[in-house]
Every structure is written in C-alpha cells, then in structure tokens.
Amino acid sequence: MAETTPSGAQATKFPAGEEKAQQDSQPGKEHQMQVKPETVPKHYKPSGKLEGKVALITGGDSGIGRAVAALFAMEGADVGITYVAGDEDKDAEDTVKLVGEVSQGKRKATKYAADLGFDENCKKVIDDFLKDHKRIDILVNHAGEQHACDNFEDLAPETVERTFRTNVFSQFFLTRYALAHMAEGSAIINTASVNAYKGNKTLIDYTASKGANVAFTRALALQLAPRNIRVNGVAPGPVWTPLITATFPEKKVASFGEETPLGRAGHPSEIAPAYVFLASADSSYITGQVIHPNGGMVVNA
C-alpha cells in the first residue's frame, strides 16, 4: 500500500479502507478523508514576505489551496478563498478557522461560494472580495476538477466543457475582473499540472486544460510585463488531496504517487511554499515561468 511522507514526519501508510473511501463529487471534501493532507510544513518559519498584502485564492478550501491560504496568512497577508457551496461548506469554514489560528488572529480570512466557470459569477466574487478587502495584490487561480475516463470515445462533451469551465474559463474570467484593481508589483499565480508536460491517458480533458493554463500564463506574462504585474505558474505532481479520492478507483488511490522518483505522493505543505515564493518579492525577476514540485519527474519546461 502506498505511503505518504509529510515534511518533517515519519511516513504514514494509508489505512485500510482509505482507498475505498470514494467521494461522489468534485473536487472532494478534505474533512471526509481518513488520512488528512499535511497543510503547514512543520519546519516552516515565516518571515513577513507578504506583510500587508491581500490575496484571493480560488479553490482555497482544501488541499493545496488551503495550504497556500495558511502560508500566505503566516507571511502577513489577508486572504479570501472560493469554494463550492454545499459540497465544501465545512472545508471552507475549517480553512477560515485555520488562517486565524496560524496567524494568531492577526490576519483576516473571507470566503466566497461560487461556480467559477461562468463570467457573471467571477465578477461577483471580485466585487464581493473588493468590498471586504478594497484591493487585490495577489490572485491565485487554483480551482480545478478532473474526471477520469479510460476510453476516449466515452468522454462526453458536457464533461469536457465542465472541466474547461472550471480549469480554464475561470482563470480568464477572474483575471479579467481582478486586473482593474491590481497595482504595479502585483502577482498572478496559475495552477497547472505535471500532466500538462507528460500527459495522462485517463485524464485527457484535464491534461488539455492544464496545458491551456501553461500557455495562458506565458502569454499573459508578456502582456502584463510593462505594467510590472508578474504572472507565473505551479505545476504540481501527484499530491494527496481530496481531489484524488473524488477521482480515482481504489487501486489507483492505494498506489497514488508511486510512479515518482521519490516513490510517494506529495502533501500540500510541500507545494504551498512555491506559491509564497512566486507571490513575494523574492521572485521579482521571474515572470512567465512554471515551478515543478513533482517528486522528481523530469519534464520539458
């Protein structure tokens, strides 16, 4: 059975039954997982890299998004997160609580329920976020979903559209509305995937959408460079999040991540520091690039 290794901790085997704890909706619920992903690295020492900043993180209720929200708050940023109403209410509430805990009550966290695949919903999220926070310094386009399909002929048009609405359209729509409120020195970070570089035979629509995220990042970075708004991406490899138990059958979950050179899935705590780096002045000379925390898989960047 597969192992996960949270940073600074001993390897933890998925207990019997975790691989059978399938979830019936995307992108899954973290509070229902038996083995919880590690959110905050045990070794992490914040140093005020984002002091006074304001960040909006889509899909920030669980998994990598939750870890990014927590680390941003630890680094001094107020944060807002988006989530799917009903399915992810508890996860969103847990993330807001966590932000308060890790920042010792110093940072503000807000949450916004929305289906981001539609332009009008994205406009409302930005409008509501601005009412609460007045500006946007960092936009993290992270919300995503995936649907496994073994036979390409069975991939329904509505599934392809749904995947692209969440993974691609949302990044276009949100960024368009956010940009009017982002000043020089702001940062946009788009979540891609290792699958955009190596492919995935059972996630063809997802892989294509992540390729679009990479291309969007590179093109937008060129357009916004004169405004000194940096646009970069993160392409995680296999990471232990609720999206996994909401996507794959038990055999795949049980061996998830074993194909990496490190032989295991990563945890959100091991991915989120890349977002801190790209959001902070530490990456002031980096735009149009993608960071690859993927367990050692070599890709053509």
| Residue 166 DSSP one-character state | I
Q: Are the beta carbons of 109 and 78 closer than 8 angstroms? A: yes
SS3 98: helix
What DSSP state is assigned to residue 165? I
* Distance (Å, whole) CA 257 – CA 178: 35
Q: Tokens 């960071």 sit at which residue? A: 291
β-strand 138-141 against 3-4: which pairing, if any?
A: unpaired
CB-based burial label for 254 (10 Å; 0-12, 13-18, 19+): middle
Q: Are strands 12-13 and 78-83 parallel, antiparallel or unpaired?
A: unpaired
Q: Which residues contact 120 (CB under 8 A, 6 or more apart)?
A: none
Beta strand spans in 122-223 (E): 138-141, 187-191
In one-letter notation, the amino acid at residue 23 is: Q
Please give the torsion angle defined by the CA atoms of residues 154, 250, 34 and 89, in that order, rounded to the nearest 10 degrees.
10
Between β-strands 12-13 and 54-57, what pairing exists: parallel, antiparallel or unpaired?
unpaired
What proportions of the chain, in percent to the nearest 5, are helix, strand and coil? 40, 15, 45
Q: Note if 275 is an active site residue.
A: no
**β-sheet bridge partners, residue 141:** 190
Of the residues 197, 206, 275, 285, only one is catalytic, namely 206
Q: Which residues are known catalytic residues?
A: 206
